[in-house]
Chain A
């Protein structure tokens, strides 16, 4: 733990590909070329990060296991509610299962692609953000490339399993339109979750205590994101729609798919637009984050 192999865990060494630094001059490469190059850098760093995580084998295996345990425990909790209280808020258990599995898949994808934003407060506190500011890569992307989320592997394995089970149990006719919508819904859910944590991370630039709220948020999403919010009183479900919009993660898209579109307490069009809302929320949260970054003054010490 003291001496060896400390270097490979940081993405720094692999970062400098000079071409990505080229400012957008007219003589520079076209946008698509730059995009490809950026993607290649991201891929290379991710590979390095993955290898870095393999260095600590105990931790790696535990990380995978822990992701799985987390998801399984949510499944157990879900089955408990489904079996003990049938007809949850007027939903059949296969419909509830679809909410739960969509939310879980969205969560797994979020952890894999955008989850590092949750550790912003740690990165800020330890002064890791400061060097990011002088590297030729968007800071947000650098934060995402800080390390490889091993637990996402476990997360996704379980989530895919549950999702397959949910599809199998559902009596829906899986038309092309529904398939497209379910994919869009999952991606939208991922973006909603990312948007929430990104907004919190924007605060992390200035307030160190955001981890407290992030943890609560994660707990709320775990407990209330996977079930029909119609069992809650109007005020509570409204709060989960407009204040902490976790209804958009899985509840709305799954409700639309399973024909609950009109009894979810919001206009049907809003529920249908859930994936789009996710996208908008993510863009807005990114703008907030950028604004907050521009006001970042560093940490002392």
Chain B
């Protein structure tokens, strides 16, 4: 029979009872790592347990890539170059954009683990009852999603390269700059998505609104069409918004529309957005916490 620990001195955070751990990974580190592994793998585990869902994803991705290739080839049928992009660049950009959309799909919705769903079902209270801050949990979940999605992207990319739909990057240098910029872009995207999720704590109980917001975000980040085609006022507008930093910039670097020389300036802008959004979302998490605390979830 296990005796219950006495209530008043509460158990310490790290399990001090772990017998003499090996010198290198301290229990705290080990705990952090196992938490990370466990929480990050929620999405992949759920997906592997639902093969039809994975099939659906594959089918959708394939169809979407084909459609996009057809569309842009059709558009370029009578045109050599438009807004500084030729057909190969445009098709490459569009295909990569479709693939990148997979990195953070909405698969968490099926698992009822989105913020809006937790608010809706009232299960958000559990986020505030655990010895882990909600933003931490959110970050670990997002990390898992990104890594899992990245697997899909990589697979799709290799297939598209093999099929000749996408051209490889012009040089190793471009590839490296693209990789860094893509990583920064994913961070910006993470914060933008978090911003949308955090909005749910206040007004957005409306799933349709959320989808539309995601659509608008996609449009402004150049998922549907490179921003280069857009009217000047639109380009100016989006220069003041974080969205193009998520995808438009890295993909333009990949297809060579932004040269390596200009890329660093753009990446600096991405960095600024990351800092700003990190600060903003941190503030919002605090406010969301206060709101839960005031209203009880």
Contact = CB atoms under 8 A, between A and B. Distances in A.
A88 B82 CA distance: 14
Contacts of A70: 212, 215-216
Given A80-B229, A224-B67, A151 B224 contact: no
Contacts of B106: 212, 215
A119 interface: yes
A102 B231 CA distance: 23
Contacts of B70: 231-233, 236
Nearest to A59: B203
Contact of B208 (A58, A69, A151): A151
B286 interface: no
Interface residues of A, number: 45
A43 interface: no
B206 A59 contact: yes
Contacts of B206: 59, 62-63, 66, 151
Contacts of A88: 75
Given A87-B78, A212-B110, A231-B75, A73 B67 contact: no
A218 B76 CA distance: 25
A187 to B, nearest CB: 23
Contacts of B52: 209
A220 B63 CA distance: 11
Contact of A63 (B56, B71, B209): B209
Contacts of B207: 119, 122
**Range of interface residues on chain B?**
35 or more
A216 interface: yes
Interface centre among A118, A151, A224, A231 (most CB of B within 10 A): A231
Given A2-B295, A70-B216, A85 B53 contact: no
A76 interface: yes
A136 interface: no
B258 interface: no
A239 to B, nearest CB: 9
B231 A56 contact: no
B225 A77 contact: yes
A76 B215 contact: no
A31 interface: no
A31 B203 CA distance: 43
Contacts of A77: 219, 224-225
Interface of A: 1-2, 56, 58-59, 62-63, 66-67, 69-70, 73, 76-77, 79-81, 83-85, 87-89, 118-119, 122, 149, 151, 208-209, 211-213, 215-216, 218-220, 222-224, 231-233, 236
Which 9 A/B pairs are nearest by Cβ-Cβ distance? A231-B74, A58-B203, A70-B212, A73-B219, A80-B229, A85-B75, A59-B203, A84-B229, A66-B209
